Chain A
Amino acid sequence: MKKDLKNIIEAFIFVSIDPLSLDKIKDILKEFPDKEIERAAAELTEYYSENKRGITIIQASGGYLFATQNEYDVYIKRLLKHEKKQKLSRESLETLSTIAYHQPTTLAEISAIRGVDASHCLKTLLEKKLIKIVGRKKSPGKPLIYRTTKHFLAYFELNSLEDLPSKEEIEKIIAEKYEEE
């Protein structure tokens, strides 16, 4: 039975297209104690990281997801006849991380922090579903309020917003010299 549990979780992750959270697994597998589910999930991810396979289980946006190992990228692109995936532009990334650290936030705030107008970037980020509008601020002009999305977390393989680069990590980069690219 216990061995089954691991397999069941594996199958669950396999059929999930969005990250599958531990809570959801627990919710569905009521007949198993939570502790056992947690242990089985941990063993399963460990198995994938120890035994190198073509695919692996990643933890992103608060859930588990199957993904291919990144070194096989070249071959997969060949199979899918897919060109290079587009990276975010420098300005988009800068706008995005401003939002990530200052959310909930507005266009005026983002532009003030970056010292440049960010309206164009916001449009791109909305299209890419990396940010969303969550309402309007109760201040003059009723500006729109922006937040990052679940897809944002998945995009950077972050489990939650707490996984954003920490103060210490940032300080380390600044000390090293942060020139990007």
Chain B
Amino acid sequence: MESSQSYQIDLEVFQGPLDLLLFLIKKKKIDIHNIPIASITKEYLRYLDNKKKINLERESEFLLMAALLIHIKSRMLLPRETYEEEEGDPRKTLVERLLDYENIKAACKILREKEAKQIKKWKRTALPRSVSFQELDFIEVSLFDVAEVFFKLMLRKEKDGIRVIKRKDFSVKEKKQDIIRYLKNYSYLDFLEYFGSQKTLEESMVAFFCLLELISERTVIAVQESLFHRIKVWLRSEVKE
């Protein structure tokens, strides 16, 4: 009762009821093998009361634990009529779960350190972006394929309800340079992604015509890794510099 006010911690920071329970046990410096169920339950419920925004799914998990705690307490209070041999401390299962969870949490800490170290080491697998298209076995895509994907994409956009309100002119020349700049930066352009991110229909159309022109004047090449794969556009290397 003395310090609960100073510990105003959002439930969101806890991974789940076990996490919260462990936190309370540490905070109160309680021996995990001898948990005073009544006081820990009280404390636990106080945290639930503090909740402001947890979704129902999460909340139910926390409530389930509250029910379990109360159940354990009641079993400890009630005199048993029959003593089954195996039945020991009603807290036993919970303690085992807590210890198990504590181990996992500690292992996570070690694994997190390993991850941090490893994530900074680059391996040869991580280099697809810098490969030029000649080295990869691609299938060149015809203009018709490109057009087909474009119209499908536009139909999909129409369903999403795009509205062209702004009136802004897009120059073919600028847009072409735009695409080339993009390619120089990112090596390739993912067809769906690129047109998916265009804001208006007009802009998409202009960009699309530019792309067709770039393909036909052989500045860029449209390829697929295999049939029916995503179409990617690469700069032909001769114009790279």
A residues adjacent to B (C-beta < 8 A): 17-18, 56, 58, 65-71, 73, 76, 79-82, 85, 87-88, 90-91, 93-94, 96-98, 100-101, 112-117, 155-158, 164-165, 169-171, 173-174, 177-178, 180-181
Contact = CB atoms under 8 A, between A and B. Distances in A.
Nearest to B98: A115
A16 to B, nearest CB: 8
B123 A170 contact: no
A85 B119 contact: yes
Nearest to A68: B122
Contacts of B126: 80
Contacts, number: 126
8 A-B pairs closest in CB distance: A70-B120, A116-B16, A115-B18, A73-B120, A67-B121, A173-B106, A165-B110, A115-B16
Contact of B105 (A58, A80, A112, A178): A178
Chief secondary structure at chain B's binding surface: helix
A174 B100 contact: no
Interface residues of B, number: 42
B63 to A, nearest CB: 12
Given A101-B107, A115-B17, A93 B121 contact: no
A180 B112 contact: yes
A87 B19 contact: no
A169 to B, nearest CB: 6
